[in-house]
């Protein structure tokens, strides 16, 4: 009984050993026009000869070649071609692979003890074709759908990337990753997209595809001074966020001026130039428009500029300061003069000191005077603004 079990076990062990005879393709993923070596492995007995067959039937019409190990000789079979060759200890090399080389191969291996058929299935991979991105619409408008398709063959995996940044989470990939769909594209989705295709034998990427979402203008803005003195000029600049960049139209009191640029100006403006200045911006592709308007008030009244100091104001204050300094200087000289005339003692110190302090509190050296000018100017400016 025990002997039987042992022999069964031994048989199993032998079977397992024999079962590990196999043939490995090298490389693991051969490609069209490449080559492959079908290499027997796990054989620990000396191989006398190997007969290779295309297919599973080990019949002469399917015979590729016979390799006799001892002499390293090859005997050509019925389906032999120059693309086949054999190597020790019985490997079959196929060069210049064709798709028709795919399928099963059988190696009939002869050792001193036994003969065994070992099979292998050969898969020949085709490199991926260079991917190309196509779009459902060449010029997507904001909030409309867009589908990008990666056109490629023989890919096992397809990946999508966007240059410089990630693809928005609103975009959905199809199950096979061939399409990327934006159900409602936004201006932020504009950018350069690329798809990559890969299989075990190759990898390639598409050229970048530029998605330029058409949008805007949502609103228009006019910049420029609205209070203009007769004789000076009206200078207005209109802007709007839009792709492609907007076209401009300027109207004054609802009459088209014919101007077509972002800037509009009137040199040497007169009182009659007062009125409502309107800028109409238009997206040249979507034809969507937006409007902004300002009322230009021609006024003879002095209106302080919004930024910076007016030269007139600074001059005015400089004159006032000069006058104040002259007055203080005169008072100082007068006092000294009077003191001399009264013939007071020169050792009498308490008198000159309060005089000096007085001057300091008023407008003495340069720095405090400058600060005083700024302060007073701002006060006046605030009054004017109000």
Task: Please report, as ranges, the residues that interact with ligand NAG according to CB under 6 A.
Answer: 252-253, 272-275, 295, 297, 299, 301
With respect to ligand NAG, which residue has the nearer C-beta, 210 or 276? 276
Q: How far is the CB of 311 from ligand NAG (least distance, A)?
A: 22
H helices of the chain, where?
2-19, 311-342, 352-361, 366-385
Task: State the DSSP code for 357.
Answer: H
Name the token pair of 7.
Answer: 């022999």
Q: How far is the CB of 194 from ligand NAG (least distance, A)?
A: 54
With respect to ligand NAG, which residue has the nearer C-beta, 367 or 383? 383
C-alpha dihedral sign at 55, 57, 62, 63: positive
Q: How far is the CB of 216 from ligand NAG (least distance, A)?
A: 29
Across-strand partners of 160?
195
195 contacts 205 by C-beta, under 8 angstroms: yes
With respect to ligand NAG, which residue has the nearer C-beta, 135 or 303? 303
With respect to ligand NAG, which residue has the nearer C-beta, 29 or 381? 381
SS3 100: helix
With respect to ligand NAG, which residue has the nearer C-beta, 34 or 304? 304
With respect to ligand NAG, which residue has the nearer C-beta, 244 or 275? 275
Q: How far is the CB of 269 from ligand NAG (least distance, A)?
A: 9
With respect to ligand NAG, which residue has the nearer C-beta, 43 or 298? 298
- Phi, psi (deg, nearest 5) at residue 143: 75, 5
Q: How far is the CB of 304 from ligand NAG (least distance, A)?
A: 12
Helices and strands: H and E segment counts in the chain = 4, 25
Q: How far is the CB of 298 from ligand NAG (least distance, A)?
A: 8
Please tell me the distance from the alpha carbon of residue 132 to that of residue 158, in angstroms, as a whole number. 12
Q: How far is the CB of 289 from ligand NAG (least distance, A)?
A: 22
With respect to ligand NAG, which residue has the nearer C-beta, 34 or 275? 275
Name the token pair of 327.
Answer: 């007055």
With respect to ligand NAG, which residue has the nearer C-beta, 299 or 310? 299
Task: State the DSSP code for 218.
Answer: S
Please tell me the distance from the alpha carbon of residue 190 to that of residue 213, in angstroms, as a whole number. 6
Q: How far is the CB of 292 from ligand NAG (least distance, A)?
A: 17
With respect to ligand NAG, which residue has the nearer C-beta, 87 or 302? 302
288 contacts 244 by C-beta, under 8 angstroms: no
Please tell me the distance from the alpha carbon of residue 296 to that of residue 66, in angstroms, as a whole number. 101
Residue 46, CB-side half-sphere exposure with 13 Å CA sphere: 5
Q: How far is the CB of 277 from ligand NAG (least distance, A)?
A: 9
Strand order in the sheet with 22-26: 22-26, 36-41, 91-94, 84-87
Task: State the DSSP code for 141.
Answer: B
Which residue pairs from 311-317 have beta carbons closer than 8 angstroms and sit at least 24 positions apart in sequence? 313/377, 313/380, 313/381, 314/377, 317/373, 317/376, 317/377
Residue nearest to ligand NAG (CB): 275
Query: Any idea what the Cα angle at residue 310 is, between residues 307 and 314, rounded to 5°?
Result: 130
Q: How far is the CB of 259 from ligand NAG (least distance, A)?
A: 13
Query: Any idea what the Cα angle at residue 89 is, between residues 85 and 90, rounded to 5°?
Result: 40
């Amino acid at each position: 009984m025990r002997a039987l079990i042992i022999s069964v076990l031994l048989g199993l062990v032998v079977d397992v050993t024999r079962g590990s005879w196999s043939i490995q393709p090298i490389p693991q993923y051969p490609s069209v026009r490449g080559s492959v070596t079908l290499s027997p492995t796990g054989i620990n007995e000396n191989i006398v000869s190997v007969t290779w067959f295309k297919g599973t039937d080990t019949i002469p019409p399917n015979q590729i070649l016979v390799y006799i190990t001892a002499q390293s000789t090859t005997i050509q079979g019925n389906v032999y071609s120059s693309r086949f060759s054999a190597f020790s200890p019985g490997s079959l090399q196929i060069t210049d692979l064709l798709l028709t080389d795919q399928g099963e191969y059988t190696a009939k291996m002869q050792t001193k003890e036994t003969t065994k058929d070992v099979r292998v299935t050969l898969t020949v991979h085709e490199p991926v074709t260079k991917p190309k991105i196509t779009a459902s619409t060449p010029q997507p408008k904001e909030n409309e759908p867009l589908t990008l398709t990666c056109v490629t063959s023989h890919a096992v995996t397809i990946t999508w990337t966007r240059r410089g940044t990630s693809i928005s989470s609103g975009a959905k990939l199809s199950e096979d990753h061939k399409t990327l769909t934006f159900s409602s594209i936004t201006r932020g989705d504009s950018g350069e997209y690329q798809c990559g295709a890969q299989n075990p034998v190759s990898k390639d990427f598409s050229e970048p595809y530029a998605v330029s979402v058409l949008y805007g203008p949502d609103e228009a803005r006019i910049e420029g001074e609205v209070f203009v003195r007769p004789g000076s000029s009206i200078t207005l600049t209109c802007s709007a966020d839009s792709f492609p960049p907007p076209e401009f139209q300027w109207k004054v009191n609802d009459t088209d001026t014919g101007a077509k640029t972002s800037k509009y100006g009137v040199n040497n403006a007169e009182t009659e130039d007062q009125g409502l200045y309107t800028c109409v911006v238009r997206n040249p592709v979507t034809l969507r428009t937006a409007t902004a308007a300002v009322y230009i008030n021609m006024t003879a009244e002095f209106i302080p500029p919004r930024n910076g100091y007016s030269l007139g104001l600074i001059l005015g204050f400089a004159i006032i300061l000069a006058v104040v300094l002259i007055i203080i200087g005169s008072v100082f000289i007068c006092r000294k003069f009077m003191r001399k005339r009264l013939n007071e003692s020169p050792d009498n110190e308490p008198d000159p000191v309060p005089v000096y302090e007085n001057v300091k509190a008023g407008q003495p050296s340069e720095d405090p005077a400058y600060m005083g000018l700024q302060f007073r100017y701002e006060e006046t400016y605030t009054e004017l603004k109000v």
